[in-house]
């Protein structure tokens, strides 16, 4: 079995990533699996000078390290790093990968299920996956169409990758920047009548949309990006849930969003047919294996 593990760094050295460190601590627990770890540095600073020392310090050696300092859209990163010939796992840079999670992946890989979802816990509550918008204590096989989760820790096998690419041209919707890349993946899975999920393991996650202090503690950057997410979902997927989410979002953040900015987002979304960041040109460098 082969497994491609993608970790996206932002504003962090490789050695500072909780995901990288905890994954490598448990890498030997991936039994009978050929692993490639793909580290993507999304900026803003280069990690070029630290790559060689990092690789030399590891007993595990099967790495690909790339960087693009312009903070590329996550949809672009995920599609670029996807390996169509094997299963793929996606992580952010701040997830603690446990041995329990790895052993659950091992069990999943032996079966015929196609998408693995970890149980996501934040502030001591189970948050994902959700079925019909409700987060339950799911474990093992899950055969539902209306599933939503986040991407960190998600594993998708090659057969489902091929089905998605056949219908949409790519796996992750390239019109989305940061938020919405995960939700729209599940919209796409539902559109191909996919219901072969497997839930296992637990991952602690500091969800950006969950704050112990309430909505007023969410940064303005995240508020704006969430507005883009709900707007694009409403325009391109025409889901009632997305429209209702947009309405509720505008009510929640009405004191922090001007009417002119909301209107501007709608106009730009239609003009660019996606998030403006998805239209920018940028250069990606492969740092390891070295391409000089």
pLDDT at 212: 44
pLDDT higher than 80, residue 25: yes
CA distance 140 to 77: 29
pLDDT at 209: 52
> From the CA atom positions of the chain, what is the Rg in Å?
19
CB 43 within 8 A of CB 149: no
> Could you read off the pLDDT of 214-242 as tens digits, one per residue?
555 578 999 999 999 999 999 999 888 88
pLDDT at 148: 96
pLDDT at 215: 54
> Could you read off the pLDDT of 56-111 as tens digits, one per residue?
999 999 999 999 998 999 999 999 999 999 999 999 999 999 999 999 999 999 99
CB 106 within 8 A of CB 33: yes
For residue 292, what pLDDT band results from cuts at 50, 70 and 90? low
Instruction: Classify residue 147 by its DSSP letter.
Output: E
Q: Catalogue the E-assigned strands of the chain.
A: 2-9, 34-41, 63-67, 87-91, 115-122, 125-128, 130-131, 134-135, 140-142, 147-148, 154-156, 197-204, 285-288
Instruction: Classify residue 2 by its DSSP letter.
Output: E
| Alpha helices, DSSP H, located in 26-61 | 48-56
pLDDT at 211: 45
> Could you read off the pLDDT of 244-276 as tens digits, one per residue?
889 999 999 998 999 999 999 999 999 999 999
pLDDT at 123: 82
Predicted TM-score (pTM) of the model is 0.93
What percentage of the chain exceeds 90 in pLDDT? Answer: 83
């Amino acid at each position: 079995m082969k497994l491609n593990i993608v970790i996206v760094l932002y504003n962090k050295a490789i050695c500072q990533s909780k995901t990288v460190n905890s994954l490598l601590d448990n890498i030997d627990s991936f039994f009978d699996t050929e692993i490639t770890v793909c580290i993507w540095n999304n900026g803003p600073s280069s990690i070029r000078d630290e790559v060689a020392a990092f690789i030399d310090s590891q007993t595990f050696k099967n790495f690909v390290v790339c960087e693009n300092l312009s903070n590329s859209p996550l949809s672009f990163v995920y599609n670029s790093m996807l390996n169509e010939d094997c299963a793929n796992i996606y992580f952010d840079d701040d997830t603690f990968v446990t041995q329990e999670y790895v052993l659950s992946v091992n069990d999943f890989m032996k079966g015929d299920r196609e998408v693995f979802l970890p149980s996501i816990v934040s502030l001591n509550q189970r948050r994902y996956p959700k079925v019909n918008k409700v987060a339950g204590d799911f474990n093992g096989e899950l055969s539902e169409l209306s599933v939503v989760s986040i991407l960190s820790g998600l594993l998708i096998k090659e057969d489902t990758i091929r089905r998605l690419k056949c219908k949409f041209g790519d796996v992750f919707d390239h019109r989305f920047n940061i938020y919405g890349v995960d939700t729209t993946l599940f919209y796409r899975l539902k559109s191909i009548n996919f219901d072969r999920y497997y839930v296992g393991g637990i991952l602690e996650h500091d969800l950006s949309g969950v704050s112990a202090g309430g909505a007023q503690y969410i940064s303005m950057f995240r508020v704006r990006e969430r507005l883009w997410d709900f707007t694009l979902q409403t325009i391109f997927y025409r889901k009632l849930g997305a429209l209702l989410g947009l309405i509720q979002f505008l009510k929640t953040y009405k004191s922090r969003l001007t009417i002119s900015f909301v209107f501007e987002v709608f106009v730009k979304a239609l003009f660019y047919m996606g998030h403006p960041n998805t239209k920018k040109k940028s250069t990606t460098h492969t740092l390891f294996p070295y391409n000089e």
